[in-house]
Structure 1
């Protein structure tokens, strides 16, 4: 079936992004500088690269940042094992660093091209992918239209659509239909997203609900020798982790830890900021509040007097989950939609979260039903809950239920890899 005609709204977007390409590159450079991105790779945002395209079949998967990147690692592994090259694009410096550490041989990383006609054309001309897959809510009109014009299968993986996004697309219903109808395969996290996309014009024959890829991702890696060394240093001190904190949340976590240490003086908090480039400001703030801190990035270990260990490095989140019986998954006191609870569940952690978790409503709803997590309203509730878990038998059932939940998650990776191969070979 032919895709609907492109709308005047899209034509206007195409023209504006073409004219605004220099401004978009200036903004991309500014963002690189702010986040310590590799400026020698900034040209990738314009669709330029010195990396050669590998021979053979190539799948392009765009996963915007760390969470989306981690969710597709198992899928990348399976495709590469089948002899398919995979090009993964992301937009953040943090995810690029992680990609360098985690991608298997046979997979490549690039910063994603800006959604301008010029950058998209250069990117597609060079890489010539056999299939294009976007992860979650990455809907880039110029890239979708350009790939479709070249006859490339388009896939939306782990599709997620917030209520706000749905309202915005409904105001542009004809444009939405012209874009979503160009996808060859759409796999949704929840039935509600599938129904919403149908309203926006997605082809019901290629749209289905499969569950959340993040639930089927492999456990985060750890260094067992380092885990044993740190475990010996920490000993039997009550330990908890605040993972992926955002600006404003460190103050609340600090207030909670004040309650915890008031009950258990030897308690240790491992604080893991979502963006390590904020670590200097966080360290200064904690020191002003009177905490004894040590910093991972400075090569410091948590000593007997350390009250907060600032884990301001990349790629070690699994280590902290391995060590800690209790984890507060942040991004849930700040309006950013929450973060991945499946990752600590793999390690059998008792999982706490705040009330703002729209991006993981499905996961937390099911985990709550299975008594595999607890919601805390604010810093006071967080502190009291952590302190209580250290002193009551409530801890062990939460840990067991979290591990059982993630273990029972449906295996999606093999099925999705098979579907992508079928599209390439069709």
Structure 2
């Protein structure tokens, strides 16, 4: 054997295999993607494997053995074939990977009249697939153009009638100066291989290219997000210091009704229910307001992904109860696919326990709930994180800006940010977030909450002809101002009844005791008498009901300097005249857009004057039908956009 032949047949393949084996073995690989793709790749038992195509860009060819080792570890009976070009490079690759039980099939599309063995390779590939093997292909190979799917790739799927699993990859690597910028993995790094949902045998070249590119982008984002930053060294110690008194804090919260004793361990990552099979999409909504904003989306998500379970976490009992009420209104099939858990504290052990148990395919946060520890642990596992209805007050933005050198990774790790307005989008962009887009405010566009008509009619009958001022979402310190305002307004509006709805229903007794005698409470089954000026509505899930009763609506958490306002849109659905206080920074852009549809009052006197001066309060104007239809159309567009973005983020 000549020296050249010895070099090409034995020495070069051995050297390449030794280096590639070292690089792949010392790289910490994560295989990520939806359950359907994983099932196809490692189907058990292998004797029943129908065969499938594994499609990835040519530049990731050297990462294939890592995917193959992962699959064979879980199913030793799997067989893998790979289509490679019939040239010197192809033969080198075939000889390099052959000892790893990867069978090379030589051949590629014919070009310029030259027979490249494409027809023969196609027949051999179909035969391998029909025999139950996995067949790896590079649809843009062997000569490109890069990321341009050749017709042979889709022809293979049609002829074999087998599904294609798109795969993307990213790792610590050098890029060769080749037409595709091939990745050569470096040792002792971190890598991600991302598989998508299987595509049917009749998938077009455009769809195949789109899905491979999406898988590649997800892998690239996971790799970037997994980088180590200074905050990753600091935050675990912050959590460790906090964990010293978290148990004590949790115990106090149980005593005050802010935690449920039987479910307290959920806050420390110990889940109370078993994990169902299949993919799980994790949604986090801190409390009642955030939960209400995403409830209309849940139906869209459940319909869009029939095999996906939605795991929704909240940090408050009231948020939990809101989810429970909504769950009862779902169909039996959808109810089984909606699980609630309390959110784990952002300490390393709790978050690890939670993620190890649930293994979500993605996480969607709401509003401005950004927890560095969650983002870090998700990024290490390749779990993409998106932010829904993103908002950022000027005060919060300033704080994040002041610590930008330390906290910028928090924003860079987000796969996308769906902001509620242009100002919020600009602020997230300045803080380092990528893929920021504005789709509108979920709280504005979401349909009005359903109201029990029987309960509504019963209350209207009980209240008879009284003029009703509904005061929602009050916080401590505001109720005395509201009570004074109602007393002043009753000098002119004799039959006025104020319904005070504390933001946290557990404060109902505290608010009722401000009266002398104590005000009647809804939670106790008490109705207001004819002489009662105030009724405390300290129940959960009935806000829309009390809005429908209202002749006037005032939104709290806005009368004192520490306030930030609350969602104005649900009140507008009722159509009654609306007012709020001057402190509403959390929803400033929303109130600016609404303009004169909300009156601003500063104290008890101005609130009383507003109620007294309104003309014909018993006949409030209602929104016109065209406006409702337009809002419904905008919500459909928003929901469809978010479904598409989440699908691209997770591969569902």
User: Same fold per TM (> 0.5)?
Assistant: yes
**For residues 40-87 of structure 1, what are the alpha-carbon distances to aligned partners after superposition, in whole Å with 9 as ceiling and x for unaligned?**
101000000130112222110111111001000011111112312111
Structure 2 residue aligned with 1:246? 475
CA contact (8 A) 1:215 1:342 kept: yes
TM-superposed CA distance for 1:407, in Å, is 5.6
CA contact (8 A) 1:349 1:402 kept: no
CA contact (8 A) 1:61 1:86 kept: yes
In structure 2, which of residues 589, 593, 600 is the aligned counterpart of residue 362 of structure 1? 589
CA contact (8 A) 1:7 1:174 kept: no
Change (3 A) 1:357 1:117: same
Segments of structure 2 that go 5 or more residues without pairing to the other structure are 1-219
Instruction: Work out whether 1:278 is the aligned partner of 2:504.
Output: no
Instruction: Work out whether 1:147 is the aligned partner of 2:373.
Output: no
CA contact (8 A) 2:226 2:380 kept: no
TM-superposed CA distance for 1:159, in Å, is 1.1
Structure-1 separation of matches of 2:276 and 2:579: 44
Structure-2 separation of matches of 1:402 and 1:269: 29
Structure-2 separation of matches of 1:332 and 1:64: 20
TM-superposed CA distance for 1:196, in Å, is 1.9
Greater displacement, 296-305 / 223-232: 296-305
TM-superposed CA distance for 1:195, in Å, is 1.8
Change (3 A) 1:27 1:293: closer
Structure-1 separation of matches of 2:428 and 2:581: 29
CA contact (8 A) 2:582 2:601 kept: yes
In structure 1, which of residues 71, 74, 84 is the aligned counterpart of residue 293 of structure 2? 71
Structure-1 separation of matches of 2:617 and 2:468: 15
Structure-2 separation of matches of 1:224 and 1:403: 23
Equivalent position SS for 1:254: helix
CA contact (8 A) 1:6 1:175 kept: no
Change (3 A) 1:101 1:213: same
Structure-1 separation of matches of 2:573 and 2:509: 30
Change (3 A) 1:121 1:156: same
CA contact (8 A) 1:130 1:424 kept: yes
CA contact (8 A) 1:297 1:311 kept: yes
**For residues 304-355 of structure 1, what are the alpha-carbon distances to aligned partners after superposition, in whole Å with 9 as ceiling and x for unaligned?**
2222111111111111011112100111113231111111111212111000
Change (3 A) 1:135 1:249: same
Structure 2 residue aligned with 1:389? 614
Change (3 A) 1:380 1:401: farther
- Alignment size in residue pairs: 417
CA contact (8 A) 1:136 1:159 kept: yes
Equivalent position SS for 1:333: coil
Instruction: Work out whether 1:93 is the aligned partner of 2:324.
Output: no
Structure-2 separation of matches of 1:403 and 1:140: 41
Equivalent position SS for 2:413: coil
Equivalent position SS for 1:263: coil
**For residues 235-257 of structure 1, what are the alpha-carbon distances to aligned partners after superposition, in whole Å with 9 as ceiling and x for unaligned?**
22111111111111111111110
Give the alignment of 1:39-78 within 5 angstroms.
39-78=261-300
**Bigger Rg, which one:** 2
Structure 1 residue aligned with 2:199? none
Equivalent position SS for 2:283: strand
Greater displacement, 107-116 / 357-366: 357-366
With normalisation by structure 2, the TM-score equals 0.61
**For residues 385-424 of structure 1, what are the alpha-carbon distances to aligned partners after superposition, in whole Å with 9 as ceiling and x for unaligned?**
011115579x745x54899489637322232123212322
Higher relative contact order (CA 8 A, sep 6+): 1
TM-superposed CA distance for 1:222, in Å, is 1.8
TM-superposed CA distance for 1:21, in Å, is 2.1
Structure-2 separation of matches of 1:256 and 1:30: 35
CA contact (8 A) 2:311 2:341 kept: yes
Structure-1 separation of matches of 2:556 and 2:422: 26
Structure-2 separation of matches of 1:233 and 1:407: 35
Change (3 A) 1:278 1:402: farther
Structure-2 separation of matches of 1:270 and 1:392: 16
Segments of structure 1 that go 5 or more residues without pairing to the other structure are none
Structure 2 residue aligned with 1:376? 601
Structure-1 separation of matches of 2:420 and 2:299: 21
Structure-1 separation of matches of 2:464 and 2:314: 39
CA contact (8 A) 2:497 2:534 kept: yes
Structure 2 residue aligned with 1:300? 526
Structure 2 residue aligned with 1:13? 235
Structure-2 separation of matches of 1:293 and 1:50: 39
Structure 2 residue aligned with 1:173? 404
Give the alignment of 1:304-323 within 5 angstroms.
304-323=530-549
